[in-house]
Amino acid sequence: LAAPEPLSADVLERRISTFAEVQEHYYTEPPEIERGWREHLIDVHAQCYLDLVNNVALTGHAHPRLVKAVSNQWSLLNTNSRFNYSALPRFTERLVALAPEGLDTVFLVNSGSEAVDLALRLAKTYTGNDAVLAFQEAYHGWTVGADAVSSSIGDNPRALETRPDWVHVIDAPHPFRGTHRGADSAARYLDDLEARLGVLDDAGTGLAAFIGEPVFGNAGGVLLPDGYLAGVFEKVRSRGGLTISDEVQVGYGRLGEYFWGVEQQGVTPDIITIAKGMGNGQPVGAVITRRDIAEKFAEEGSLFSSAGGSPVSCVVGLTVLDILRDEGLQENARTVGGDLKAKLLTLQGQHDIIGAVHGLGLYLGVELVRDLATLEPASAEASEICEELLREGCIVQPTGDYKNVLKIKPPLNITTESVDFFVEALDRVLSARSRR
């Protein structure tokens, strides 16, 4: 592809003048995107890009079945969940049927941040405790509670110094670059956690919850060491706390082999938070939990979200689930994602800058390092590579504390042809860099 035309000065300037700049945009000279189709984005110059970053568009962009269902529901009715309409129980029944055993009650909200905030409130109310354990390098959202349990210095360089007292940031069990390394490192992380919890026990600090991504999405799809979550859940529960699995990024079929990320660790949480892809871009989020936890929360009064669980949101949620099922998208994530991972591992053998290929299904991370022994993060390189990939027609962005992991989380209907297009582009970009 030719270098993309910069965003028309007018649109970029107008954006910057009235839209708070802290809401960043991708790329120094971003293309002006006009429409989407499946795993593709098309700009105002009819330049086509492969969208490898948009995990929100689970069923692909502009899915005709979804477009039809939404426009039909908008023309019939959109109101709030205090009214009685069939889309709501149809959606919550589907979610309960998909949820791990024992999670039988649903709250419907509008985003991942809201779901995480509500999950924290549920845990605090149920346990009567305040303290929450959360991973370092995590991102759980932007609302007060969700932000409190987010400590990724990639998103907020001052995150670790500014967490409120009730948040206890624990070492992330990162088998590639963490304190302990290797797929068998769970026991060592759990020993450290036990020591940490001992300090809280001695201080009489009761636990409300542990919250974590079951596959470490914000670090680029890093799988937790085997047995780690089982150990954490046991320790948290023995202290009266609840366990929250934040499935906003990695859940809902994206991992291919598993519908929920937590299945990969063979455990069942007390609470699941989910959003993003479940609405394919329509604001839809949910908390799925046990009835006794939901009932305890009811003692605090009622809960009302003006748009959460609206007829349109429920119809979107149901249609996304129909498309997932009818088009076999979880299976596509398994097969096409598995093929993509294998091809990326082959590239790893050819390019020293690739330190690891993380992830499962269609949640993958290509970790870039300057030195395979020290694992020094190739952060500046990752950002340059993303710019170079844009010129190849591929949209990829860096993630993690060091912003050195290329996150690959495309729509689940991505084809093998598109995957090959990306792998060839990445190979060309990395080869050109090593020749410089």
d(CA 135, CA 84): 40
Q: Give the residues across from 61 on adjacent strands.
A: 38
Decide if residue 140 touches ligand PMP (CB under 6 A): yes
Least distance in angstroms from the C-beta of 347 to ligand PMP: 26
* Binding letters toward ligand PMP, positions 54-93, x by CB under 6 A: ----------------------------------------
Decide if residue 280 touches ligand PMP (CB under 6 A): no
The window from 38-46, 232-240, 243-251, 351-359 that contacts ligand PMP (CB under 6 A) reads 243-251
Give 249 or 379: the residue with its C-beta nearer to ligand PMP. 249
Give 69 or 116: the residue with its C-beta nearer to ligand PMP. 116
Give 178 or 277: the residue with its C-beta nearer to ligand PMP. 277
Decide if residue 275 touches ligand PMP (CB under 6 A): yes
88 close to 81: Cβ distance less than 8 angstroms: yes
412 close to 329: Cβ distance less than 8 angstroms: yes
Q: Cα–chain-centroid distance for residue 387?
A: 23
Measuring CA to CA, which residue among 412, 428, 432 is closest to residue 58?
412
d(CA 434, CA 228): 38
Who's near 144: CB < 8 A, 6+ residues apart?
A: 117
Decide if residue 249 touches ligand PMP (CB under 6 A): yes
Return the residues of window 17-36 that contact ligand PMP according to CB under 6 A: none
Q: Which position's Cβ is nearest ligand PMP?
A: 112
Taking each continuous run of H as one helix and of E as one strand, the counts in the chain are 12, 17
Burial class (CB in 10 A: 0-12, 13-18, 19+), 368: buried
Decide if residue 398 touches ligand PMP (CB under 6 A): no
Give 247 or 388: the residue with its C-beta nearer to ligand PMP. 247
4: helix, coil or strand? coil
Decide if residue 270 touches ligand PMP (CB under 6 A): no
Return the residues of window 108-137 that contact ligand PMP according to CB under 6 A: 111-113, 116
Decide if residue 151 touches ligand PMP (CB under 6 A): no
What is the b/e burial string over 311-335, where b = at least 16 CB atoms within 10 angstroms of the residue's CB? bbbbbbbbbbbebbeebebbebbbe
Give 141 or 377: the residue with its C-beta nearer to ligand PMP. 141
Q: Choose, by CB under 6 A, the member of 276, 343, 403, 407 that binds ligand PMP.
A: 276
Decide if residue 246 touches ligand PMP (CB under 6 A): yes
Least distance in angstroms from the C-beta of 258 to ligand PMP: 16
Q: Choose, by CB under 6 A, the member of 175, 214, 217, 337 that binds ligand PMP.
A: 217
Decide if residue 251 touches ligand PMP (CB under 6 A): no
Decide if residue 141 touches ligand PMP (CB under 6 A): yes
Q: What are the angstrom distances between the C-alpha of 178 and each of 105, 141, 215, 226, 432?
A: 36, 23, 15, 15, 31
Decide if residue 254 touches ligand PMP (CB under 6 A): no
Measuring CA to CA, which residue among 424, 419, 226, 391 is closest to residue 335?
419
Q: Report the chain's terminal Cα–Cα distance, integer Å.
A: 20
Give the E-state strand segments of 118-239 in sequence order.
131-135, 167-170, 207-212, 215-216, 222-223
Return the residues of window 195-214 that contact ligand PMP according to CB under 6 A: 213
The total of other beta-carbon atoms located within 10 Å of residue 227's CB is 18
Least distance in angstroms from the C-beta of 140 to ligand PMP: 4
The window from 105-113, 128-136, 181-189, 418-426 that contacts ligand PMP (CB under 6 A) reads 105-113
Judged by the rule CB under 6 A, the positions of this chain that interact with ligand PMP are 111-113, 116, 139-141, 213, 217, 246, 248-249, 275-276
